[in-house]
Amino acid sequence: MTRRGFWQAGLTLVAMATFAMAFKGIFARLIYQHGVSVNALLIWRFALAVPLFWLGGMWLLRRNPAPTGSLAPRQWGLCAGTGLLFFISAWCDFHAIESLGASLSRMVLYLFPAMVMVLQAIEHRRWPEGRSLLIFAGAWVGIALVLMPGWHGGTVNPAGLAYGFGAALCYALFWRASQSLMKPLGSVRFNQLSNSFTLVAMLVFLLPGVPLESLWLPAPALGWMVVMVVFSTVIPFFLMFEGIRRTDTSRAGVVSMFGPVVTVLAAIAVFPDEQLGPVQCLGMALVLASIAMLTSDKKPKVA
């Protein structure tokens, strides 16, 4: 495969993963409607997901062998660190979904590509190229338009915003730290290890404070939980990190910015309290146009 083909395949995988992950907030709201707490949802999500990461990973590794061998102490530390970062990000994110709703919480979370771009610029000690800055600015103006007053009841919960910003920052740090582990470990092995550490963190920090009776899920909530785990967690994680391995986190972050567009459209269809006006429609169009500019770039760089 040519360098351009490798890069484009990476962005395609990121786009597929983003589409699936965009429904996470929808499924979470459907689960919350049955009285499930944030902490119980998180524990169930990863208790179901981690075994699937290991089973799916074993099947994928048989078909496409990845790097093997023992991990260095630094790699174990990085895997644990990414697992902890994702735990904090997920905890903040699901609180934001509870406080802000599916649509608005996605808008705030998708500050993370800007943070990724800043982190990458600091790491390489140079400004991002002008084209990337222009594309990103267009995408973020689009997201800002979607956030403008005129929908979502006209009020915003400050605590929900704080949770959203915390989720975005930790997710950006998670993306940057994870890329350094992709090549030596492979995306499949990284997924297995990092998400296992996330589950351990949840069992240590969340489980002691959750009453046993609150872990019991009604049948409809359990059904939506299984759908969220398979469709919006396990499958997109494998796609996302293989995509990141093939491209750089800054470009992958811009492609993932169409996620809120999918979430908003799905939320409008499912929840009567999440509606969209003309300004928000213009914002979504800007996001999609920016992504189209990125994917048509003739000079891709492979990380």
How much is the pLDDT for 299? Answer: 42
Is the pLDDT score of 178 beyond 90? no
Range among 146-150, 169-173, 297-301 with highest mean pLDDT value: 169-173
Q: Model-level pTM?
A: 0.80
CB 49 within 8 A of CB 233: yes
How much is the pLDDT for 300? Answer: 37
**Range of lowest pLDDT (23-27, 199-203, 281-285):** 281-285
Residue 68: band (very low, low, confident or very high) from pLDDT cuts 50, 70, 90 = low
Is the pLDDT score of 148 beyond 80? no
Structural domain boundaries of the chain? Answer: 9-295
Predicted confidence (pLDDT) per residue in 220-258, tens digit = 999 999 999 999 999 998 888 788 777 766 677 667 777
How much is the pLDDT for 301? Answer: 38
Predicted confidence (pLDDT) per residue in 114-128, tens digit = 787 778 778 777 776
How much is the pLDDT for 196? Answer: 96
Range among 4-13, 136-145, 227-236 with highest mean pLDDT value: 227-236
